[in-house]
Amino acid sequence: MSDPLLTVSDFSVVYDVDPPVEAVKNVTLELQRGEILGLAGESGCGKTTLAFGVQRLLKAPAVIASGSVTFHDVSGDDVDINSLDAAEMQRLRWDKISMVFQGAMNALNPVATIGSQLDDVFHVHRPELKRRERRAESEKLLEIVRVGRDRYRSYPHELSGGMRQRVMIAMALALKPQLMVMDEPTTALDVLVQREILRQISQLRHEFGFSVIFITHDLPLLLEISDRIAIMRAGEIVELATARQIWDEPQHEYTKTLLESFPRLTGERGVLVR
């Protein structure tokens, strides 16, 4: 049975320059509750612009040209995101929709402790919590993402890249959102750390029940962790199917090209598409 969390209909984003650039063109997709939806495509195809657009995070000269975005709250309310004012959007972000930004592991304040930065999330969005309650919640989050509560007083430079990325995931999880958008969350991490973080994201999704939009140009990675995958090219969704269908029976020529652009460790030697 369909249980949508987010519905995007005929959504377009234009960069208002001379001449105008259509960055996202009439995108329609539906994210199911508890689903990991992969969004794949080459750099510059509009993946991040789409993610920013549905959360109203775009900056000039980018503007939403058309379309609608509806968030289906677990409470039963349908929220028209495009109609919300700034204060309503602020309440929606982090509380119901959170985001791990590209290069997030370098986004921590270098002169503030990990604990104080986690505390800020609760101080702003859960002002009713007392200081000791905020610390207890922050330490619990550090345990959940396997950083350890003993790092509460550490500074970002004292943590590895993988640990800093886990802290950013902890921040995104802090308010128990229903949707987490992850933009290239494992970029610049070595393969072993990347694998561990991906495994942890899957485990946390099962534990907390949130949905994930996972953005990357790495299609083999998405094949491993996603329920469904949307292939994006030049601002358009050219194919949307389950991960198994994308692997076994890709329908679009661009999808086939993406799959052929990654070397395989087994099987006969073939031509690597560049």
| Neighbour tally for 87: CB within 10 Å | 8
Domain hosting residue 177, numbered range = 4-260
Judge whether 178 and 210 are in contact, CB under 8 Å: yes
Query: What's the rounded Cα separation, in Å, for the pair 73 and 5?
Result: 7
Judge whether 266 lies within some domain: no
Domain count, the chain: 1
Work out the average pLDDT over 100-106.
76
Which burial class, exposed, middle or buried, applies to 17 when counting CB atoms under 10 A from its CB (0-12, 13-18, 19+)?
exposed
More confident residue, 36 or 218: 36
The rounded distance, in Å, linking the Cα atoms of 110 and 271 is 45
Residue 214 lies in a domain: yes
Examine residue 149 and state whether it is found in any structural domain, yes or no: yes
pLDDT of 233 above 90: yes
Give Rg (Cα) of the chain.
Answer: 19
pTM of the predicted model, to two decimals?
A: 0.91
- pLDDT given at position 121: 93
In percent, the amount of the chain with pLDDT more than 90 equals 72
pLDDT of residue 200: 86
Reported as a single tens digit per residue, the pLDDT across 159-200 is: 988 889 889 999 999 999 999 999 988 776 777 888 888 888
Arithmetic mean of pLDDT, 130-158: 95
pLDDT surpasses 80 at 263:
no
Concatenating the DSSP letter of every residue in 58-77 gives: --TTEEEEEEEEEEE-TTS-
Can you tell me the mean pLDDT for 117-122?
95
Confidence band of 113 (pLDDT split at 50, 70, 90): very high
Residue 265 domain-assigned (yes or no): no
Per-residue confidence band for 120, with pLDDT thresholds at 50, 70 and 90:
very high
Tell me, yes or no, whether 267 lies in a domain: no
pLDDT higher than 60, residue 143: yes
Better pLDDT: 186 or 86: 86
| pLDDT classification of 1: cutoffs 50, 70, 90 | very low
What is the end-to-end Cα distance of the chain in Å, rounded?
Answer: 40
Query: Residue 253's pLDDT is what?
Result: 94
Question: 274 vs 150, which has greater pLDDT?
Answer: 150
Do the beta carbons of residue 46 and residue 20 sit within 8 Å? Answer: no
Q: What angle do CA 139, 35, 194 make, to 5 degrees?
A: 55
Give the chain's mean pLDDT.
91
| β-bridge partners, 70 | 7, 80
Q: Could you give phi then psi for residue 205, rounded to 5 degrees? A: -60, -45
Q: Which of 213, 127, 131 is nearest to 172 (CA)?
A: 213
Q: How confident is the model at residue 152 (pLDDT cuts 50, 70, 90)?
A: very high
- Cβ within 8 Å of residue 126, ≥6 positions away: 134, 175
* Assigned domain for 229 exists: yes
- Helix (H, G, I), strand (E, B), or coil: what is residue 29? strand
The answer to whether residue 117 is domain-embedded is yes
C-alpha distances in angstroms, 28 versus 62, 67, 231, 252? 19, 9, 12, 17
Question: Mean pLDDT across the stretch 17-43?
Answer: 95
Q: What is the CATH number of the domain that holds 40?
A: 3.40.50.300
Average pLDDT, stretch 94-107?
83
The whole-number average pLDDT for the span 86-93 is 90
The predicted pLDDT at position 265 comes to: 55
Residue 272 domain-assigned (yes or no): no
pLDDT at 264 over 80: no
